[in-house]
């Protein structure tokens, strides 16, 4: 398990020491990238319309529910749901619409700047009045220019215009109108627009750009940009903020929005008082007419009968009759209210309901039920501003309203029955008293009759006017529970931020080329430098061999004073630390696939050994693709395949001498049909035994281990194996393959060689301590 974790760590390892030189080599591109991104960042700040943040503080009183007997705490009183709903209502589109309808935001004015159009508000040279009952061109700039105080020209310079119809339909404007000239102060109507432009400035000539905004687009924009958050989790003070390109308009909008919210709240609070006043007014009109009639009749009767002494007209019978008549009128008034209230409940017209206490009806149960009903109805209206009728909380409130409706109607039945019994009783008493004063003189009876009608009507009129005054006073004394803590003000410009943009541009300019190098390194599939091998390979790397730029592969003989020849000398020296110097050496050179330079390394390693005086032989074991004979200018007529197939049994007849001292070659020979089986025969073992008796160094040039099977079987015949990797050719997966080969098969004395390295880009590491470019390599100087 630990070894697997180690492998995983190794596979994710990124060698910074190898990457940093690659990054430093591209410093001109890094400098160019930083410069270009910085210039781009500068122009970005100039081409970006400035955006400001406007903020205000608004206090929202958390509502205390008066529905203790009817509320479900899990629905209406859970946490801060009430405050959250108020936040949603403030952000809702209906509130935004009523706010914008109070503002003159339907026309935006712009001045042309160096890079962008800047919106202006107030202090504008012209004033545009729009008739939205006619078609209009919206959401694109329209140029207004003038050269005198009389006329102006309308031009359409954008490529995309949209047209809105009075019914709200919007569609692209297919044909852009040509410039036209009109007079200031006159209504202009075409197929595409209707507006009037007044000249408000003193400039003789100038230009300004306007953009017409329909109310729907403004509502979506301002409601969407409004941000609301609580200042503290335990407080109900809200921070209302808005990001806008014109801070003055942003401040005006927020202030108007808060005031509009307060007005709506106050209007809802005044609905009960207003309903009471309206109901009383509807009753007072008829009572006032009756009062005038009775007063006129009373005056006429007195004048005709010359009766002016009021004290003489009074009697105990009259006082009792007046008391009962007053009670009867008031009770009939109550029954009239009960009837209207029942009609409202049946039609669910809750907005027109009047609380009984406002009319002097002191019934605590009925007053409580109707007050709770009105509160719930207001609650439902608030919820519907931000929820659908199918939402659970709205359904719950609707259920409570229906329950209250049923309870009120049941209570109305009881109070109406009691009122009817009382009216019948009063009418019976009045009839009894009326019978008692029939014995009075006719003139006195008529006087009492006129006086009674007048006093009863006057009392009812006084009662109604008193209740109306109380309702009006209540309405006038109402005030909103919420309030504005801080009016809107501009906090800061949030974008573009010049310093931040330039810094980000510089960092991005650095990241792009550096990220490219890192990304290329992460996704690289081939081995690029020796440090990768040293970090990933679980066997030592004995030497780094430079790339051969010459046509000849015999670099040790042809370029003896070059860095590449020194690489093979370094390889020979490092082998001495592994194998005893006085012992006969048999080593094998292989690789994963063809093309990694194993034959090139085999030939030159044999060459450096022969130069030390050791008798060396190079054996071409790759009978599938023989190559060695070409570089030594030998024939491949007989060789290893000839001996192993017993076509020639004398080993000395197949060994070929080279033009170099101490170096013999045993070429592969003609390609046999069964090269793998030939290497497994005892003849190959006998061959190696005879060669060991004749040569100090035997080097086997074997087939690639990743392509053929016989190479692994040769490991048992050698003292040391060199595994060749080639820069920018060998895949990184080959490293893992060799690690697996060593780990699974337990192979010892296997070492790596890094071949074909570019001397200008090499990262020096173990095995190449002598370096390239030391100055004493004369061949390299040339």
Taking residues 636-657, what's their average pLDDT? 83
Residue 515 pLDDT level (bands cut at 50, 70, 90): confident
Q: Using CA atoms, how far apart are residues 636 and 616, in angstroms rounded to an integer?
A: 19
pLDDT for the residue 307: 47
pLDDT for 25-81, tens place per residue? 888 888 999 999 999 988 888 888 888 999 999 888 765 543 333 343 333 344 456
pLDDT for 442-483, tens place per residue? 555 555 555 666 666 666 667 666 666 666 666 555 666 777
What pTM was estimated for this model as a whole? 0.55
Closest CA to 541 of 755, 758, 325: 755
Q: Where is pLDDT greater, at 381 or 349? A: 381
Range from 67-76, 390-399, 484-493 carrying the lowest mean pLDDT: 67-76
Residue 219 pLDDT level (bands cut at 50, 70, 90): very high
Range from 368-382, 394-408, 493-507, 571-585 carrying the lowest mean pLDDT: 368-382
pLDDT at 655 over 80: yes
Taking residues 708-728, what's their average pLDDT? 79
Buried b (16+ CB within 10 A) or exposed e, 189-214: eeebbbbbbebeeeeeeebbbbbbbb
Tell me the three state secondary structure of residue 609.
helix
Q: Using CA atoms, how far apart are residues 371 and 509, in angstroms rounded to an integer?
A: 68
pLDDT for 350-370, tens place per residue? 665 665 555 556 667 777 777
Judge whether 365 and 411 are in contact, CB under 8 Å: yes
pLDDT for 325-351, tens place per residue? 777 777 777 777 777 777 766 666 666
pLDDT for the residue 528: 76
Could you tell me how many helices (H) and strands (E) the chain has, helices first? Answer: 26, 24
Could you tell me if residue 690 is left (phi over 0), alpha (psi between -120 and 50 degrees) or otherwise beta?
Answer: alpha
Backbone angles phi, psi at 621, to 5 degrees: -85, -5
Q: Supply 516's token pair.
A: 């490219």
Partner residues linked to 144 by β-bridges: 154, 208
pLDDT at 143 over 90: yes
Closest CA to 99 of 260, 316, 304, 269: 260
pLDDT at 155 over 60: yes
Alpha helices in 270-347 (DSSP H): 271-305, 310-313, 316-346
Q: Where is pLDDT greater, at 505 or 309? A: 505
For strand 720-726 and strand 750-757, is the pairing parallel, antiparallel, or unpaired? parallel
Q: What angle do CA 336, 340, 343 make, to 5 degrees?
A: 145
């Amino acid at each position: 398990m630990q070894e697997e974790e180690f492998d995983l760590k190794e596979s994710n390892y990124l060698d910074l020491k190898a990457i940093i030189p690659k990054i430093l080599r591209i410093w001109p591109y890094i400098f160019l990238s930083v410069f270009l991104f910085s210039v781009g960042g500068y122009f970005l700040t100039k081409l970006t319309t400035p955006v400001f943040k406007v903020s205000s503080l608004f206090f929202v009183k958390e509502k205390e529910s008066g529905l203790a007997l009817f509320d479900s705490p899990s629905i209406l009183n859970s946490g801060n749901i009430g405050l959250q709903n108020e936040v949603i209502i403030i952000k809702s589109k209906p509130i935004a619409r009523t706010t914008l309808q109070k503002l003159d935001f339907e026309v935006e004015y712009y001045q042309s700047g160096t890079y962008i159009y800047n919106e202006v508000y107030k202090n504008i040279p012209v004033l545009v009045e729009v008739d939205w009952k006619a078609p209009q061109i919206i959401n694109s700039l329209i140029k207004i220019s003038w050269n005198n105080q009389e006329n102006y020209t309308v031009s359409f310079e954008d490529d995309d215009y949209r047209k809105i119809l009075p019914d709200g339909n919007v569609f692209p404007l297919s044909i852009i109108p040509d410039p036209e000239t009109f007079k200031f102060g006159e209504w202009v109507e075409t197929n595409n627009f209707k507006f009037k432009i007044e000249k408000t400035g003193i400039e003789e000539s100038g230009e300004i750009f306007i953009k017409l905004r329909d109310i729907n687009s403004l509502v979506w924009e301002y409601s969407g940009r409004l941000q609301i958050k609580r200042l503290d989790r335990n407080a109900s003070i809200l921070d209302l903020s808005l990001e806008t390109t014109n801070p003055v308009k942003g401040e005006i909008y927020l202030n108007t929005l808060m005031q509009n919210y307060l007005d709506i709240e106050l209007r809802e609070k005044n609905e009960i008082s207003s309903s009471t006043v309206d109901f009383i007014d509807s009753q007072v009109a008829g009572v006032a007419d009756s009062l005038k009639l009775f007063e006129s009749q009373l005056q006429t009767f007195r004048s005709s009968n010359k009766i002016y002494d009021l004290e003489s007209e009074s009697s105990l019978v009259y006082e009792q009759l007046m008391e009962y008549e007053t009670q009867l009128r008031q009770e009939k008034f109550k029954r009239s209210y009960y009837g209207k209230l029942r009609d409202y409940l049946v039609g669910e017209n809750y907005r027109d309901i009047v609380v009984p206490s406002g009319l002097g009806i002191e019934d605590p149960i009925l007053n409580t039920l109707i007050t709770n009903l009105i509160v719930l109805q207001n609650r439902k209206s608030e919820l519907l501003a931000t929820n659908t009728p199918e939402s659970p909380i709205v359904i719950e409130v609707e259920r409570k309203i229906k329950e209250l409706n049923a309870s009120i109607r049941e209570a109305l039945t009881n109070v109406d029955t009691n009122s009817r019994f009382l009216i019948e009783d009063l009418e019976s008493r009045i009839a009894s008293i009326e019978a008692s004063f029939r014995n009075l003189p006719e003139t006195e009876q008529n006087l009492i009759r006129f006086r009674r009608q007048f006093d009863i009507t006057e009392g009812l009129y006084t009662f109604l006017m008193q209740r109306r005054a109380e309702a009006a006073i209540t309405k006038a004394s109402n005030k909103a529970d919420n309030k504005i803590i801080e009016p809107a003000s501009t906090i800061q410009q949030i974008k573009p931020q010049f310093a931040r943009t330039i810094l980000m541009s510089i960092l991005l300019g650095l990241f792009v080329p550096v990220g490219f190098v890192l990304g290329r390194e992460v996704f690289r599939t081939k081995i690029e430098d020796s440090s990768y091998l040293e970090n990933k390979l679980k066997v030592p790397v004995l030497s780094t061999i430079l790339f051969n730029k010459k046509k000849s592969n015999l670099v040790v003989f042809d370029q003896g004073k070059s860095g590449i020849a020194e690489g093979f000398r370094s390889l020979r020296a490092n082998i001495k630390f592994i194998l005893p110097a006085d012992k006969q050496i048999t080593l094998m050179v292989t690789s994963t696939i063809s093309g990694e330079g194993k034959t090139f390394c085999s030939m030159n390693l044999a060459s450096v050994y022969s130069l030390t005086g050791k008798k060396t032989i190079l054996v071409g074991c790759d009978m599938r693709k023989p190559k060695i004979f070409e570089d030594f200018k030998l024939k491949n007529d007989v060789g290893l395949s000839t001996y192993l197939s017993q076509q020639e049994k004398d080993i000395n007849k197949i060994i070929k001498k080279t033009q170099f001292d101490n170096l013999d070659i045993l070429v592969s020979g003609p390609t046999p049909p069964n090269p793998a089986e030939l290497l497994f025969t005892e003849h190959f073992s006998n061959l190696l035994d005879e060669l060991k008796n004749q040569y100090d160094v035997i080097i086997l040039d074997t087939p690639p281990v990743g392509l053929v099977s016989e190479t692994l079987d040769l490991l048992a015949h050698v003292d040391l194996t060199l595994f060749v990797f080639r820069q920018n050719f060998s895949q990184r997966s080959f490293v893992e393959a060799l690690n697996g080969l060593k780990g699974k098969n337990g192979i010892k004395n296997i070492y790596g060689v890094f071949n074909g390295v570019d001397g200008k880009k090499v990262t020096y590491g173990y095995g190449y301590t002598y370096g390239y470019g030391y100055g004493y390599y004369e061949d390299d100087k040339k």
